[in-house]
Structure 1
Amino acid sequence: MIRIEGSGASQLVQLIRELGYNSEVTMELATVTAAPPELKIKVDHMNLELEKDDLIVAQSLTKHKRKINMKSEGKTKISAMNVNPKVPPFKFDPGAVFVGQGTISFTGLTVDSADQTINEAELEFLDELKEGDRVMVVGINQGQTYMILDRVVTY
């Protein structure tokens, strides 16, 4: 690092110039030209397509699973419609005891204002990159590798 001289403001400006500019990282816009697993993108200012070996993709843009705990207190509304009225949309516990006689028949089930707790559920995200998606990429290693950070939209 060079020796910085001058007033406090001058030193700050010189320091920002020295440390603030980073030619090693560039942010660019790109378009997905082929969906995973054979992912390819075309960076706006480049004439060639980058292939999956040149890319690092943020997990949120891939098919992936996450474990969650979910809790709602009195604000949950659960609804289900039975698409086949001859078959109930749920199974009864074999140990359940029913009093009386008759047939239970319904086309839907709604529970309002229910407390709900789900422990260690698995959430699967399916919305991976697809052809035509616009993405924000960061070029690293002097443009040898590109990291896809997220989808982008314009209004």
Structure 2
Amino acid sequence: MEGSGASRLYQLFGGGSGSSGIEIKLATIKALPPTIAVQIDGDSIDTPVEGIIVAEYLTEHKRTINGAEAIFSCDLKVGDSVIVVIANDGQVVYVLDKAVV
């Protein structure tokens, strides 16, 4: 892939061809980390934890800020709507952010 970050992202998502195999959808949180499960809108079954990758800032994690350790709590709740990217023919679901709908 060539070009700026934006053009590479555009190419990753098929460059307008619609055949990239990557989709952006909404999903609903069905279970929280560490045994997270999501249900993609329109699907009748939940995606199990083995196929889900969650953005760190949505989970409980530690950060060091100016030499002090801060603990951030999980920002997700069961029933939350989230923005997901589905890749590898539905084998991997990336939870990117909470959706405000």
TM-score for the superposition, normalised by structure 1: 0.52
1:141 aligned onto 2:88: yes
One-letter amino acid of the structure 1 residue matched with residue 70 of structure 2 = L
Deviations 1:5-30 (A, max 9, x none): xxxxxxxxxxx8xx613422100000
For residue 115 of structure 1, what is the aligned residue in structure 2? none
Give the drift of 1:129.
Answer: 2.0
**Alignment length, in residue pairs?**
87
- Of 34, 40, 44, the match for 1:43: 40
For residue 68 of structure 1, what is the aligned residue in structure 2? 65
Choose between structure 1 and 2 for higher RCO, CA contacts under 8 A separated by at least 6 residues: 1
SS in 2 for 1:138: strand
Ranges of 4+ aligned residues in structure 1 off by more than 4 Å? none
One-letter amino acid of the structure 2 residue matched with residue 150 of structure 1 = D
TM-score for the superposition, normalised by structure 2: 0.78
Give the drift of 1:45.
Answer: 1.8
For the 8 Å contact 1:33–1:41, the answer to whether it is kept is: yes
For residue 111 of structure 1, what is the aligned residue in structure 2? none
Seq. identity, %: 40
Q: Distance in 2 between matches of 1:52 and 1:128?
A: 17
Unaligned runs of 5+ in 2: 1-10
Higher helix residue share: 2
1:54 aligned onto 2:51: yes
For residue 30 of structure 1, what is the aligned residue in structure 2? 27
RMSD: 1.6
For the 8 Å contact 1:36–1:130, the answer to whether it is kept is: no
For residue 6 of structure 2, what is the aligned residue in structure 1? none
For the 8 Å contact 1:57–1:149, the answer to whether it is kept is: yes
Larger radius of gyration: 1
For residue 93 of structure 1, what is the aligned residue in structure 2? none
